[in-house]
Amino acid sequence: MFESPRDNDDVEQELEAESWNGDDAPLQGAVSDAPTADVGDVAALEADDRYLRLAAEYDNYRRRTAKEKAEATDKGASWLISRLLDELDDVDRLVASDPVTTTYESYRNGVELLQRKLRKELDAAGLERLEPADVPFDPMLHEAVAVVAPDDPSQDHTVKMTFQAGYRFKGTILRPARVQVYSEQGAS
């Protein structure tokens, strides 16, 4: 499989035999008295070449995966945006309505309808609204922004009320719910 290393004299004799054309004159471009590289130099050059090829291959892989990741992100964003275009049209119609002839109730109904449609689309995309009350406080899901003394000791470390809803997207918390928590130790 591997050839044994040859010494410089064998290599020179082969080069001379290959460069001879039979007319007692060497072929053009033949190396006659050029210094030859020893086996260690050849092995080092092959290792350097192998390293450079691997480095280039890795660099190409890195660029290709970065491009694929960007394309996948763009495709996902494009999908979500296309799902929200109807809601955007509704906002445009609401803004374009004539304020003189449109009542407050009409605006309010339009905004409520828009909110329901927007939540429906975001829920379908995998967004979950976290609005806890009367559940045990979980620092992974909730952010305590206020503490109040409990009326009953069994309420200790439970959520009293939600100040701002939290959101979870396909299992990942985007924003924890900001809550008020019952606590015997923190309330004064």
> Are 112 and 41 contained in the same domain?
yes
Q: Which domain covers residue 55, as residue numbers?
A: 1-7+37-125
At residue 37, the pLDDT reads 58
Pick from 184, 114, 178: nearest CA to 146? 178
Domain boundary among 110, 125, 140: 125
Residues 186, 118, single domain; the answer is no
CATH of the domain at 161: 2.30.22.10
pLDDT of residue 147: 93
Specify the pLDDT at position 154.
86
- Is the same domain home to 178 and 134? yes
* 41 and 96 belong to one structural domain: yes
- Whether 15 shows a pLDDT value over 70: the answer reads no
1-15, 121-135, 156-170: segment of lowest average pLDDT: 1-15
Q: 52 and 119 share a domain?
A: yes
pTM over 0.75: no
User: Is the domain of 66 the same as that of 116?
Assistant: yes
Calculate the CA 123 to chain-centre distance. Answer: 22
Pairing of strands 142-148, 177-182: parallel
Q: Is residue 66 assigned to a domain? A: yes
Residues in the chain: 188
Decide which of 158 and 10 is more confident.
Answer: 158
Question: Are residues 116 and 158 part of one domain?
Answer: no
pLDDT (tens digit, 9 = 90+) per residue, 125-142? 999 999 998 899 999 999
Residue 77 lies in a domain: yes
Query: Is position 61 within any domain?
Result: yes
Query: Please, which pLDDT band fits residue 82 given cuts at 50, 70 and 90?
Result: very high
* Same domain, residue pair 79 and 156: no
Average pLDDT of the residues in 20-32: 50
Our count of domains for the chain comes to: 2
